[in-house]
Chains A and B, each alone.
Chain A
Amino acid sequence: MRFTTRSMLMALAGSTMLAGAAAAELSGELKIFLDTSNPAPRATMEKMIADFGALHPDLEISTTVIDREAYKTQIRNFLTADSPDVATWYAANRMTPYVNAGLFEDVSDLWAEPEIAENLASTKGAMTIDGKQWGVPYTYYQWGIYYRKDIYEELGLSEPATFDEMKSNCQVIIDSGRACYTIGSKFLWTAGGWFDYLNMRTNGFDFHMALAAGEVTWTDDRVRATFANWRELIDMGAYVENHQNYSWQEALPFMANGEAAAYLMGNFAVAPLREAGLDDDKLDFYQFPAINPDVELAEDAPTDTFHIPANATNKEAAREFLRYVVSADVQTEINNGANLGQLPVNASASVDDDKFLNEGFAMLSSNSPGGVAQFFDRDYPAEMAAEAMQGLQEFMVFPDNLDDILNRLDKVQARVYK
């Protein structure tokens, strides 16, 4: 094991030495701040950094891991005051405040290098603001519907490909005394996932992004059509009751116990579901079915990223670290099932042989012609996302309040995008 890692590192040392002599002379201090506070990602990151350090013995690397939730508020302080050289964050709109405040370094030069330009092309859009790139992605993961294969088999159901099939499946599940979908909307963002999919399937990716950009009002008839589709599911009792009380983790047992048959979630739900006893015979995955046959399928695939703060002191070493993180071999290694268990961003990297990663990779690379969105709270400006997700939660519990909710969102939209 040790040997293979080593040989991989050696191979890497050869391949990443594109910058050649300059890279070998890296010295000084490199401060890295991470939000990967859960045990598995933390170990993955620490090992990767240690490997990078082994390539650059003169570089003194210090790593600080901050709790993921706390990181979201602390980043504002450390970017302005005591800046690290490299920091993790998220793509798309979530980085806008820091780009606008001039706190992230423009790394367009890295994206101009052929190796990155070719292999990371798929995520370039999510990293671009004002025609420049502000960081590099290190991992992403698919969203989709995870379902209880055994329940579907028991009821004689198959993976739905259209909305009608989805609804008729759901009716059978309800008649068997279960809920079709579990969801915990206490922290709101899970409802954002449902809206993303329903809106992208009803009106398409471009419309969804136009709404995110504030070019369409929430009271628009097309948005109403999305809510009308959603309401069909709500009215038939597709969701578990009292979901406003639960976090996404607290909603997992409904599925593990068989009280609900499916969960629209990111791939990170697989690990806890497996721990809850659902092996690959019981747990399966399908792409959110088409609703409007005229729109192309589009997907949510949130991307996590590395950035160089504008106030960093060792930007040369930081750039080399970013090159290292996105290189094909490192991407393969850190995203495999034993580590992050997610999808590598580099097109030349290989996906670990895991049922869900394979399905997700196939879906994102060949069956999302419409486009790949980040996620509701990353594509929409923070303030709009906060208000909207609260409205979505309210709609899921009191669908009759729709007009009130949409008017409210119009008002917020008028202020946020002015």
Chain B
Amino acid sequence: MPTSPAVPDTMPPPRSWYKRNEIAVTPWLFLAPAILFFAFYVIWPIYQSIVISFYDWDGLGEARFIGMENYVELMDDSAFEVSLWNNLKWLLFYLLAIPGGLFIALFLNQTVTGIRIYKSLFFFPFVLSQVVVGLVFSWFYLPNEGLLNGVLGLVGLGPVNVLGDPTMATYGIIAAGLWPQTAYCMILYLTGLNAVDPEQIEAGRLDNAKGWKMLWYIIIPQLKPATFIAFVVTIIGALRSFDLISIMTNGGPFGQTRVLSFYMFEKALSEYGFRMGYGAAIAVVLFLIMLIFIAYFLWSMWSEERGR
């Protein structure tokens, strides 16, 4: 009797679990480090902030659970209200950086001799540290010695104390922030303009499109990806505003230039602060506001993907 089977043994040797599930598992293996870091450095701190916001804690002693008290106090806190309004002003006026950046980019996209020099000059504010920008603008705004009042004096306008006036100070800081932010948007648009299709422009010319119409119907639609990125970074930049405020006014005069992130720092970590729970509650509110925008960004990216 032959011991070998009639048909040759085609059964492959048993494969390992990984080999059998390779296609499904490998992407997750590559994603694992990112997911771990995201969970550890993003999700976990967010969870912790939310938990701490229910406590009364000075960061040293025992934390005492007080439920929603921090949030109740927030609703009645005039400084919080001021910060919230200021955040709104930042959001609104910071968006001016987008059209500003676009027009400077269009201007710099001309072919003129020496345009490279102008270009690099316009890049300049973007490279500067926010702290330096803040210092430069504080000097610019100085009530007696500042350049702004020097110029205003030439045309016969009275001296203004931009950073010392509670009604003007926030706008003064936003204007300072717009300088580097506009440069940032300009860079984005310059890159976008490189990708504009010359054939479409040609076609537009044949159909008699010129000037504004050319810009509005031919150029701007093609810059949509750049506009989207500019919008994202500007919104996030506005919500994160901190360094300029800290350098230029330190939240003053009388706390009128605080925004949520600065107020959170003051309450939780500054020299006279250390109300961790209250600071965390402010952080949670700021997070919720950001969440609106994050959700919008994710949704628009997702619908973009689906549209293809």
Chain A interface residues toward B at CB < 8 A: 69, 72-73, 76, 79-80, 97-98, 100-101, 103, 186-188, 241-242, 244-245, 377, 382-383, 385-386, 390-391, 393-394, 397, 408, 415
Q: Of the listed stretches B53-61, B187-195, B206-214, name the one at the interface; the rest are far from the partner chain.
A: B53-61
User: Is there a chain A Cβ closer than 8 Å to B129's Cβ?
Assistant: no
Q: Which B residues are CB-close (under 8 A) to A187?
A: 250
B253 pairs with A382, CB closer than 8 A: no
Residues of chain A with a CB closer than 8 A to B30's CB? none
Q: Is the beta-carbon distance between B255 and A390 smaller than 8 angstroms?
A: yes
Nearest chain B CB to A398 CB, angstrom units: 8
Contact present for A385 and B252 (CB under 8 Å):
no
Question: Which residues of the partner chain B approach A103 to less than 8 Å between Cβ atoms?
Answer: 60
Contacts of A244 in B (CB 8 A): 164, 252-254
Q: Contact between B250 and A186 (Cβ–Cβ < 8 Å)?
A: yes
Q: List 18 A-B contacts (CB under 8 A).
A: A76-B274, A80-B60, A97-B61, A186-B252, A242-B144, A244-B164, A245-B142, A245-B143, A382-B272, A382-B274, A383-B275, A386-B266, A391-B254, A393-B253, A394-B254, A397-B253, A408-B78, A415-B73
Does chain A have a CB within 8 A of B163? yes
Residue B91 is within 8 A (CB to CB) of chain A in the complex: no
Bound CA–CA A187/B58 (angstroms) = 23
Interface residues as binary, B3-20 with A (CB distance below 8 Å gives 1, 0 otherwise): 000000000000000000
Nearest CB in chain A: distance from B57 CB, A: 11
List CB contacts (< 8 Å) of B112-133 with chain A.
Answer: none
- Cβ of A69: which chain B residues have Cβ within 8 Å of it? 271
Taken together as a complex, chains A and B put the C-alpha atoms of A377 and B60 apart, in Å, by: 20
Is the CB–CB distance between B271 and A73 below 8 Å? yes
Which residues from chain A contact B255 at a C-beta distance below 8 Å? Answer: 390
A401 and chain B: residue at smallest CB distance:
B254
Question: Is B161 at the interface (CB under 8 A from chain A)?
Answer: yes
Nearest-CB residue, chain A, relative to B78? A408
Interface residues on B, range: 20 to 34
Residue of A186, A385, A408 with most chain B CB atoms under a 10 A cut-off: A186
A100 CB contacts on chain B under 8 angstroms:
61
* Chain A interface SS verdict (over half): helix
CA distance A390 to B164 in the complex (A): 14
B267 CB, min distance to chain A CBs, angstroms: 9
For A245, the chain B residues whose CB sits under 8 A away are: 142-143, 161, 163-164
Q: State how many angstroms separate the Cβ of B71 from the closest Cβ of chain A.
A: 15
B148 at interface by CB-CB < 8 Å: no
> Are B254 and A390 interface neighbours, CB within 8 A?
yes
Q: Are A242 and B60 in contact (CB under 8 A)?
A: no
Q: Which residue from A76, A188, A242 sits with its C-beta under 8 Å from B161?
A: A242
Chain A residues with CB under 8 Å of B266's CB are 386
B contact patch SS: loop
In the complex the two chains form, what is the Cα distance from A415 to B144 in whole Å? 41
Taking the closest CB of chain B, its distance from the CB of A183, in whole angstroms, is 13
Separation of A393 and B59 alpha carbons in the complex (Å): 28
Give chain A nearest CB distance to B78 CB in angstroms. Answer: 7
Given A73-B269, A76-B60, output 7 extra A-B contacts at Cβ < 8 Å.
Answer: A69-B271, A72-B271, A80-B60, A97-B274, A100-B61, A101-B60, A245-B142
A390 to B254, CA, bound (A): 5
Contacts of A241 in B (CB 8 A): 143
Query: Are A242 and B164 within 8 A (Cβ)?
Result: yes
In whole angstroms, how far apart are the Cα atoms of A408 and B143 in the complex? 30
B258 to chain A, nearest CB (A): 10
The docked-state distance in angstroms from the alpha carbon of A298 to that of B280 is 41
By a CB distance below 8 angstroms, the chain A residues around B163 are 245
Q: Which of B58, B266, B269 has the most CB of A within 10 A?
A: B58
Contact of B273 among A242, A386, A391, A393 (CB under 8 A): A386
The 8 A CB mask of B258-278 against A (1 = contact, 0 = none) is 000000001001111111000
Q: Given the complex of chains A and B, what is the CA–CA distance between A98 and B271 in angstroms?
A: 14
Q: Mark B121-165, 1 if CB is under 8 A from A, else 0.
A: 000000000000000000000111000000000000000010110
A400 to chain B, nearest CB (A): 13
In the complex, chain B residues whose CB is within 8 Å of the CB of A391: 254
Out of A72, A80, A394, A415, which one reaches B253, CB within 8 Å?
A394
Q: How far is the CA of A192 from the CA of B197 in the complex (A)?
A: 64
Q: Please, which residues of chain B bring their CB within 8 A of the CB of A101?
A: 58, 60-61
- Write the nearest CB–CB distance from B230 to chain A, whole angstroms: 33
Closest chain B residue to A404, Cβ basis:
B78
With known contacts A245-B142, A390-B252, A382–B273 Cβ distance under 8 A: yes
- A98, B269: Cα distance in complex, Å: 15
B24 CB to nearest chain A CB (Å) = 44
Q: B60's contact among A73, A97, A386, by CB below 8 Å, is which? A: A97
List B residues 40-61 near A (Cβ within 8 Å): 58-61
How many angstroms from the CA of A382 to the CA of B254 in the assembled complex? 17
- Bound complex: CA of A140 vs CA of B270, how far in Å? 24
Cα-based distance from A76 to B268 in the complex (angstroms): 12
Within 8 Å CB of A382, what residues of B? 271-274
Contacts of A242 in B (CB 8 A): 143-144, 161, 164
Residues of B with C-beta under 8 A to A393? 252-254
Residues of A contacting B272 in the complex (Cβ-Cβ under 8 angstroms):
377, 382-383, 385-386
Given contacts A245-B143, A382-B272, A386-B273, contact A98 B252 (CB under 8 A): no
Q: How far is the CA of A383 from the CA of B143 in the complex (A)?
A: 31
Q: How far, in angstroms, from A244 to B254 measured CA to CA in the complex?
A: 9
CA distance A76 to B2 in the complex (A): 84
User: How many angstroms between the C-alpha atoms of A79 and B266 in the bound complex?
Assistant: 21
Q: What is the distance, in angstroms, from B254's C-beta to the closest C-beta of chain A?
A: 4
A219 to chain B, nearest CB (A): 17
Bound complex: CA A76 to CA B269 (Å): 10
**What are the residues of chain B within 8 A of A76 when measuring CB–CB?**
59-60, 274
B58: nearest chain-A partner, CB-CB: A97
A382 to B60, CA, bound (A): 15
Smallest CB–CB gap between B250 and chain A, Å? 6
CA distance A382 to B275 in the complex (A): 11
- From B255, B270, B272, name the one whose CB has the most chain A CB atoms within 10 angstroms: B272
Contact string against A for B residues 102-117, beta-carbon threshold 8 Å, 1 for contact and 0 otherwise: 0000000000000000
User: How long is the Cα–Cα vector from A368 to B188 in the complex, in angstroms?
Assistant: 66
Complex: A69 Cα to B59 Cα, angstroms: 18
Instruction: Kindly provide the distance from the CB of B161 to the nearest chain A CB, expressed in whole angstroms.
Output: 5
User: Of all chain A residues, which has the CB nearest B144?
Assistant: A242
Give CA–CA (A85, B144) in the complex, Å: 49
Q: Give Cα A32 to B161, complex, Å.
A: 45
Give every chain A residue within 8 A of B249 (Cβ-Cβ): 186
B169–chain A nearest beta-carbon distance, Å: 9
